[in-house]
Every structure is written in structure tokens, then in C-alpha cells.
Structure 1
Amino acid sequence: MTRAVLSIGSNLGDRLAHLQSVVDALGTDVVGVSPVYQTAPWGPVPQADFLNAVVVAEGGEPREWLAVAHRLEQSAERMRAERWGPRTLDVDVISCRQGVDLEFSVEILSDDADLTLPHPRAYQRAFVLVPWLAIEPDAVLTVDGQVRPVADLLARLEPVERDGVRRTDDALTGPVS
């Protein structure tokens, strides 16, 4: 069993509903949901702000998480017409760990063309790191072969990048036990 960190974002349509659809689809596999943040788009394409969150879930293997991410994007009618363009839903597999106990789990590393783990640019993106830290303050991520605290990675980003991640009053609801 793996523990996956999924970054979710939307800047088209009912953004909050698109994010909630991920939590709903993952159901009882969800072990944590971050607050919702509003962020400026990343990349060169002019577009509306995103709503972003992070979901931590337990379940299948890394390729299964990728398949789930693609299925959820398709359900939200995501179009992949333009790199870094607007989207109804973006689901990225940021990290997978073998074992569910964060302290004793091992991060899965992959250089596969279809699934690079951890996500190769996650450490550069405050819209991933801020929500992740909100639910896993002791999170770590392998960068350039070294395990680094996510809090340290966030601290190394430019202040404008960190300050651009603004917590909203919106909330995603997890599964009811």
C-alpha cells in the first residue's frame, strides 16, 4: 500500500466543485485534505487564478494513482490543448511513499517517462508546498537525491511566490466515517 500526495487545482468553471470531485471520488482512501488556496497561474499563459489544495490518500501503487489522476481530469472534461493553460481540473501525483506511517515509510523514486516521482517541479511551487504543509507539517521530499523537509523547500522560494498562495474561506469535505 502506498501513501500518495496529490496536488489538485482548477481555474475554469466551478473551481471548488472540481476540487471536491477529487475528494469525493477518492472516498475512504482520503486521509487528509488541505485548506483551499487561491493562486495566480504558473507559467506564461494569461488566465484566471486557480483554486489549489493537496489531498493525501492511501491505496494502490504509483501507476494506479496516475491512472486515477487522469480519470478524474477526464471526468472534469479537462482539455490538454496548451501547456500551462487553463484547466477545469489538474491532478498531479507529487509523491508516493511505500507504507502509510509517515515516519517509517520510504519515498518511491521513478524516472519513468510516464511517471516521474517525486514530481520534478513540486519543490519549486508554493501552491503545492503550502497546502501540503498545512496537513503534513513534517513532510519531506527528495530533491536532487537528498531528502529535504518541505518547510525548508518552501522557505527557499522567493517571498513573492510564497505570498501568492492565499488561503480562502472555502473548504473541501472529506469522507464521513
Structure 2
Amino acid sequence: MAKVYVALGANLENPSAQLDDACIALKELAESSSFQISPYYGSVPMGEVVQPDYINAVASLETQLSPIELLDALQAIEQQQGRVRLEHWGPRTLDLDMLLYDNVTLTSKRLTLPHYGMKQRSFVLVPLFDLAPELVLPCGTPLRSLITPSLQAELQELDTDH
């Protein structure tokens, strides 16, 4: 059984509902009652593409799926919710990124673990910290050491009932 953390993000077609629907699908991948979801946060988009703000969260779950099997399942959920990959860092109905899979370190054509950009993204670090404040990343860095007041100020926790 592997402990996995997945980042969720959406900024099209009712983003909060997109995340709610993704949570339902992710629960189907989780063993027993292992699924947890952070609060939802509002964040500004990355990159130069003009687009609406995002709603982000992080989920944790335990699964028996291999990393690639889980990646396939995450991409299937994205496609079921209308994900179309038109431009890098462009708007999307749903984005699911595998952040961590136990302490596995992996670099392949399809998947990099831990997620290559997670240490630089407030919309990943803050909700991940909500779920696992004592987490130590595979590189040995305590998650707590990456959380700063300015990082937390970049996000707005949303009042949602999920």
C-alpha cells in the first residue's frame, strides 16, 4: 500500500464543482477510508496566459496502484471531466498532478516523482502542509521548512463545503 499526495487544480466550468467531482473519483482509487482533502484555495495562474484564477487543493490517499497505473487513472479522471491540453500552463477544467508516491524517486518520460515543481508552488505546499505538517520529502527536506508567512499569504482559503 502506498501513501500518495495529488494536487488538484481547476479554473474552467465551475472549478469548485470540478474539484468536488475529482474528489469523488479519487475516493474510488483510495483504499478503505484513507482519502483526505485539504481546504480549497484560490490562486493566481502561473505563466503568461491570460485566464481566470484557479481553485487548488491537495488530496492524500493510500492505493495499491503502481505509480504509472495511478498516473493513467488520474489522466482518465481529467479526460472524463473535459480536460483538453491546448497550451502549457493554460486554462483547464481539471489538473491532477501526482506530487508524492511514498518516498519513491522516479524520472521517466511520463512521470517524475516527486513532482518537479512542488517546492516552488504555494498552491501545492500550503494545502499539502494542511494535510501533512510533519511530512519529510524524499530529499530529506521537512515540509515545514518550506512554509513561510509570505508563501501562505499568496493564497486565499475558500469557504467551501466539501
TM-score by length of 2: 0.91
Structure 2 counterpart of 1:154, one-letter code: I
> Aligned pair count?
157
Is contact 1:2–1:62 with CA below 8 Å preserved after alignment?
no
Percent of aligned positions that are identical? 34
Within the candidate set 137, 157, 160, 1:167 is matched to 157
In structure 1, the residue matched to 2:141 is 148
Pick from 17, 35, 56: which aligns with 2:60? 56
Cα offset for 1:163?
A: 1.6
Output one character per residue of 1:9-56: Cα deviation in whole Å (capped at 9) or x when no partner. Answer: 000011111101111012261421100100001112111100000000
What corresponds to 1:36 in structure 2?
40
User: Which 4+ runs in 1 deviate beyond 6 A?
Assistant: none
Q: AA paired with 1:153?
A: L
SS of the residue 2:137 aligns to = strand
SS at match of 2:52: coil
**2:112 paired with 1:116:** yes
Q: Among 90, 94, 102, which residue is 1:89 paired with?
A: 94
What SS does structure 1 have at the residue aligned with 2:140? strand
| Aligned 8 A contact 1:36 1:171 in 2 | no
Structure 1 unmatched ranges of 5 or more: 98-106, 173-177
CA displacement, residues 60-106 of structure 1 (integer Å, 9 cap, x when unaligned): 12112211110111011111000000000000000000xxxxxxxxx
SS at structure 1 position matched to 2:75: helix
SS in 2 for 1:9: strand
**Which stretches in structure 2 are left out of the alignment for 5+ residues?**
none
| TM-score, normalised with respect to structure 1 | 0.84
Q: Which has the higher strand share?
A: 1
Q: Offset of 1:166 from its aligned partner?
A: 0.9
Shift of residue 2, structure 1, vs aligned partner: 1.0
* Alpha-carbon distance, 1:140 to partner: 2.0
